[in-house]
Amino acid sequence: MCRCKWAGEDPLYCDYHDNEWGFPLHDDLMLFEFLILEGAQAGLSWITILRKRENYRKAFDNLDPNVIVNYTQEKVDELLLNEGIIRNKLKINSAIKNAKAFLEVQKEFGSFDRYIWSFTKGKTIQNSWKDLSEVPASTPESELMSKDLKKRGFKFVGPTICYAFMQATGMVNDHTIDCFRYKKLK
């Protein structure tokens, strides 16, 4: 079975690649989770975040924006001591700001899903990469998404983070054409 080369041999990475990455995601809470995790990943490897994912879920109340939006300084201080997550004050505070902005988007558009998928006109962008080296770090769509998210108060949502979010949530099919998942998601 041929996978995208980035998945390597790590069982956690392979499972993520095979069962999650690139699958079109339309559940608001899962979209929020990916938004928070992608922001936490800034400057780090994705495997680092995958290994801490369950810790994030526990520490951040199942990544529920309705709970996170009410976090106090006391909760932030508690999170800064939690060795199971990335203990970066800016990233922790961004999760709270992003929860607030996320809930505002839900109110305005009826769902975050409707809003975020509008950047791809509600469909998965089908790419045909032969090699990992062809995959861009950002695209015009991720740049537009980044600009709009920032305008709405979101943090840690630069064009590269937005593109990684798009890849993870199936807004783009960036499995390489030799990968067994490419055709299944096309």
Instruction: In whole angstroms, give the CA distance from residue 6 to residue 182.
Output: 14
Task: Single out the catalytic residue among 38, 115, 117, 163.
Answer: 38
Q: Which fold has domain 5-185?
A: Endonuclease III; domain 1 (1.10.340)
122: left (phi over 0), alpha (psi -120 to 50) or beta: left
User: Mean pLDDT in the chain?
Assistant: 97
Per-residue pLDDT tens over the stretch 60-113 = 999 999 999 999 999 999 999 999 999 999 999 999 999 999 999 999 999 999
Task: Single out the catalytic residue among 6, 20, 46, 143.
Answer: 46
Task: Single out the catalytic residue among 6, 16, 20, 143.
Answer: 16
Q: Name residue 172's beta-bridge partners.
A: 125
Instruction: Report in angstroms the alpha-carbon separations of 106 from 33, 72, 77.
Output: 15, 22, 28
pTM of the model: 0.96
> CB count, 10 Å around CB of 43?
9
- 16 labelled catalytic: yes
Q: Is the pLDDT of residue 116 over 90?
A: yes
Query: What six digits make up the tokens of 9?
Result: 């041999």
